Amino acid sequence: MKDSNFLKEKNARSLWHPMAHPAASLKNPPTILTGASGVRICDLDGHEVVDAVGGLWNVNLGYSCQPVKDAITAQLGQLPYYSTFRGTTNDTVIELSEYLREFFAPDGLSRAFYTSGGSDSVESALRLARQYHKIRGENGRFKFLSLKKGYHGTHFGGASVNGNANFRTAYEPLMPGCYHIPAPYTYRTPFNETDPERLAQLCLAALEDEIGFQGAGTIAAMIMEPVLGAGGVIVPHPSFMAGVREICTRHGILLIADEVITAFGRTGSWTGSRHWGVRPDFACTAKAITNGYFPFGALMIGENVAEVFESDTTGKANIGHGYTYSGHPVGAAAALACMQETVRLDAPKNADLRGRELYEGLLALQHRHDLIGDVRGGAGLMCALELVSDRTTKASIDKNVIEKIQKITYEAGTMVRVSGNNIILSPPLVLNSSEVQIILSSLDAGFSQV
């Protein structure tokens, strides 16, 4: 390995980081990771800390999941690559598809379309939703609805349904025909309503109103995260997603669940849709499907949608969409091993138990530190702290203060993620109670020392 000064000096000279200003990365070299094991990561300067980010919501099983590493190695020796475009496939991806079909049966999803990640899965869902309506002769249904604060990746389709200006403004104009509904975000809402159930009803009324305004016959699909993740862990009232489902069904609008974060246990249930008792028409997955060990994703397709495509005799159901790495055999091997480990370890159960401890600990921290305006969680191992400089006015926190909190928290033993005014926590689902306490005490140190 090159020496420490070389790496710090050279990093941002020749590479641009996603979601960062190139000049800022040059000025403040990012933390350079050199190793990881269990739920801990190590950096070049010798820190070893609990990773409360879980990679990027994806390393659910931690960094030492040997069965996944072994499966990748074995597949590399056997068949490192072949395409699944028309005419060829591979044995591993067939086995994975059968496994996923069974896994997603309670969600009503029975076919997989493979991708290289979350943005690809979202793009695939948006495209196939439009095609579904065209096959059925409803050519006018091309619009998309989504939630403000929602995150759906950064392809042009995903960015267009994205509900955060940070990922949109610099890249406009985005795709026409995309409209946004207020999110059930009790801390800041245009409805001035803090009761989660009543707010959910108001947001549903706004959805119904937008459908009436656009004309249901022009709308292809509504896309939403079962629990909004990157937008600051917004956990809707249990009535919300079921309400969206009912409205969509009544208007012939497909429901796309963006489960890139929530599938495979993060919410304490096997999928986010199942957490709310909803069956979507599509579910976008990626991230934890391979635990971050290989870039891979799967768009899961509802039986009802599959039937429309598979019974077409006109040729309109020919899929003109796909990726070189769709169904990559190494990704498929990683996913299969990962799914089997996730099921063997009953990952959602631990996510639920440790998630409760973490959420309660964060609520206790809020009593001690005025900078914590809102604590969100209560759905497995995904929590957020929204920071404010003044609790009464809810004025934004100074960027330097939140960065300082993150730095001290890191030095005290925990990596956390800062996104806007939020500190986001999405640790591996194999976390234990003492590691939960390390996260809480590191954050306490961070808030105490600013």
Ligand X SMILES: Cc1ncc(COP(=O)(O)O)c(C=O)c1O
Q: Is the four-CA dihedral 204, 142, 279, 376 of positive or negative sign?
A: negative
How far apart are the C-alpha atoms of 124 and 252, rounded to whole Å? 20
Q: Which of residues 207-236 bind ligand X (CB under 6 A)?
A: 225, 229-230
Q: What are phi and psi of 401, to 5 degrees?
A: -70, -45
Site track for ligand X across 178-197, x = CB under 6 A? --------------------
Q: Pick from 63, 142, 144, 151: which binds ligand X (CB under 6 A)? A: 151
Name the burial class of residue 360, with classes exposed (0-12), middle (13-18) and buried (19+) by CB atoms within 10 angstroms of its CB.
middle
Q: Pick from 286, 288, 429, 436: which binds ligand X (CB under 6 A)? A: 286
**432-439 long-range Cβ contacts below 8 angstroms, 24+ apart:** 432/354, 433/354, 433/357, 435/39, 435/50, 436/354, 436/357, 436/358, 436/361, 437/361, 438/50, 438/413, 438/414, 439/50, 439/52, 439/358, 439/361, 439/414
Q: Which of residues 294-333 bind ligand X (CB under 6 A)?
A: none
Strand, helix or coil for residue 204? helix
Query: Which residues fall within 8 angstroms of residue 233, CB to CB, at 6 or more apart?
Result: 227, 376, 377, 382, 383, 384, 422, 424
Binding window for ligand X (CB under 6 A); candidates: 60-68, 85-93, 151-159, 328-336: 151-159
Q: Is 152 in the site for ligand X (CB under 6 A)?
A: yes
Give start and end residues of each alpha helix (H) in 284-432: 303-310, 329-344, 347-368, 399-411
For the CB of residue 434, give the shortest distance to ligand X in the complex, in Å.
28
Q: Please, which residue, 23 or 170, has the CB nearer to ligand X?
A: 170
Two structure tokens written together for 236? 């809707």
For the CB of residue 153, give the shortest distance to ligand X in the complex, in Å.
3
How far apart are the C-alpha atoms of 307 and 320, rounded to whole Å? 18
Q: Please, which residue, 258 or 440, has the CB nearer to ligand X?
A: 258
Q: Pick from 203, 261, 338, 371: which binds ligand X (CB under 6 A)? A: 261
Q: Please, which residue, 90 or 262, has the CB nearer to ligand X?
A: 262
Q: Is 163 in the site for ligand X (CB under 6 A)?
A: no
Task: Count the residues of the shown chain that bind ligand X, applying the rule CB under 6 A.
Answer: 14
Q: Please, which residue, 53 or 358, has the CB nearer to ligand X?
A: 53
Query: Which residues fall within 8 angstroms of residue 17, CB to CB, at 6 or more apart?
Result: 25, 30
Q: Is 258 in the site for ligand X (CB under 6 A)?
A: yes
For the CB of residue 151, give the shortest distance to ligand X in the complex, in Å.
5
Q: Are 150 and 161 in contact (CB under 8 A)?
A: yes
Q: Please, which residue, 59 or 122, has the CB nearer to ligand X?
A: 122
- Closest residue to ligand X, judged by C-beta, is 118
Site track for ligand X across 82-121, x = CB under 6 A? -----------------------------------xxx--
Binding window for ligand X (CB under 6 A); candidates: 147-155, 186-194, 329-337, 438-446: 147-155
Q: Please, which residue, 263 or 440, has the CB nearer to ligand X?
A: 263
Q: Pick from 49, 59, 61, 122: which binds ligand X (CB under 6 A)? A: 122
Instruction: Give the count of beta carbons closer than 10 Å to the beta carbon of residue 171.
Output: 12
Identity of the residue numbered 28: N
Return residues touching ligand X (CB under 6 A).
117-119, 122, 151-153, 225, 229-230, 258, 260-261, 286
